[in-house]
Amino acid sequence: MDRRAFMRCVGCTAAVAASQNTFLPRFLGGIQNAMAFDYADQLSSVEARYYKKREGGGVECGICPRHCYVTDLERGYCGVRENRGDIYYTLVYGLACSLNVDPIEKKPLYHFLPRTTALSMATAGCNVNCKFCQNWEISQVRPEQLNNLELPPRALVDICRQRNVPTIAYTYSEPVIFYEYMYDTAELGHKHDIRSVMITGGYIEEKPLADLLPHLDAVKVDLKAIREQYYKDVVDGELQPVLDRLVQIKESGVWLEIVYLVVPTLNDTDAEFRELAQWIKTNLGADTPVHFSRFFPQYLLKNLPPTPENTLQNAHDICQAEGLEFVYLGNLRGHQAESTYCPKCSKMLIGRRGYTIFEYNLDGNLCKFCGREIPGLF
């Protein structure tokens, strides 16, 4: 059996495992146990999109605002796009390093098909380097440093159909860097009534996003801060392109939710929460759900404590006072702000504890008590 045949078998096994509701381990391999793959065979060689050749050699990647200039045999910042003879390739097309069936609430998407699941997948790589990354073992490594499953778009869609999973979530790492894989899967999924949601940092160029949005049903953006300096110091990225993309997503009509990870001492002042709320209200609308998520020490920020509960409560209260209608707290199991309340009558519409829904008072998109329309896809 050659390697490709072997990987196909592994892919089939993954499909079967998923279809039998046996969750695959989220991290299918660790770089501690990196295997000696035949690299050329192991990684994909699908030509990347949105790049241009530069006069005099090299290519310029146009998928994200970094615009990496990449010469022969080198890779972009993400580590998963490589120039070979001035043709730019994605090395992770059809190669998932993580696969799991998650509740949609885990993404978190609270206004999108609640009580359903999403086939959640990722490849190696990321176009930023957040010091708090909880998935750095896959996002901050190269694909050959992981064990990957060969799962082309068709296989992902088939798993969903076999298991009655209505949605595919591109998540865990940063789907922008496996754009081609995501795009083709989402496009194919729509042909089979499988929805697609992108869980992203939003650090993507306008054109690739515009082309992708018609194939997506929801986007959750990690807005990591409202200050450019934080993006520079903690994220190794830029704020403004993310803000621009948020507006673009909202204007497209694709469902949007925002997560803001509150990191003690770095992005947790009242002024920042207020600025965030005002920006969202002005640019995206007061009905855009915002999730404040609790930070736990990870990766390169192990020196900080978990976010105090009162800081999260403070963020919640400020945003509500500024007029945002759906403000949630995450990673804080049992808190009442995990649940959805009607902005008009204040009654509980969706009661949540962790990923469990214990109360549901929506009639379609309407509040069962006062008839107020609740935005989202229910």
Partner 1 sequence: MSRVIVVRWAGGKADFGLDKATYGIMLEAALRALRQTADLDSVIGDMFPRGAIGIKTNCLTRKLNSTPVALADGLAEILTERGVDENNIVVWDRSNRELSEAGFLLNASFTGRRCLGTDTSGVGYSSRFFESGGVNSLVSEILTRTVEHSINLPVLKDHSLAGMSAGMKNMYGAIHNPNKYHGNNCSPYCAHVSNLAPIRSKHRMTILDAVRVQFNGGPGYMAQYIETYAGIIVSADPIACDRVGLEILEHMRKKYGLPTLENDGRPVKYLQPATELGLGESDLSKIELKVLSADQTGSVRDGELY
Residues of the shown chain interacting with partner 1 in the complex, contacts defined by CB under 8 A: 30-40, 57-58, 68-69, 71-79, 83, 129, 140-142, 144-145, 236, 300
Q: Whose Cβ is closer to partner 1: residue 33's or residue 282's?
A: 33
- For the bound state, the minimum distance from the C-beta of residue 10 to partner 1, rounded and expressed in Å, comes to 17
Least distance CB 71 / partner 1 (angstroms): 4
The residue among 375, 344, 349, 347 whose CA lies nearest residue 362 is 349
Minimum distance of partner 1 from residue 9's CB (angstroms): 20
> Are 375 and 111 in contact, with CB atoms under 8 Å apart?
yes
Using CA atoms, how far residue 210 sits from 49, 214, 248, in Å, is 14, 8, 8
Query: Does an H or E element contain 316, and which?
Result: helix 309-321
Q: Give the span between the Cα atoms of 53 and 255, in whole angstroms.
A: 35
What share of residues in the chain are helix, strand, coil (percent, to 5)?
35, 25, 45
Least distance (Å) between residue 311 CB and partner 1? 26
To the nearest whole angstrom, how small is the minimum distance from the Cβ of residue 300 to partner 1? Answer: 5
Nearer to partner 1 among residue 102 and residue 150 (C-beta): 150
Which tokens go with 289? 């759900």
**d(C-alpha 111, C-alpha 188), whole Å:** 24
CB of 141 to partner 1, least distance (A): 6
- Of the pair 83, 267, the CB lying nearest partner 1 is at 83
Which lies closer to partner 1 via its Cβ, residue 72 or residue 363?
72
Instruction: Quote the CA–CA distance of 250 and 252 in Å, as a whole number.
Output: 5
Question: 230 or 369: whose CB is closer to partner 1?
Answer: 230
State the minimum distance, in angstroms, from the CB of residue 221 to partner 1. 22
- DSSP one-letter string for 74-117: -B-TTSSEEEETTEEEES-TTEESEEEEEEGGGTT-SSBSTT-E
Contact 76, 129 (CB under 8 A): no
Question: In this structure, what is the dihedral angle of CA atoms 7, 12, 18, 21, given to the nearest 10 degrees?
Answer: -130
Would you say 10 or 348 has its CB closer to partner 1? 10
Nearer to partner 1, 72 or 251 (CB): 72
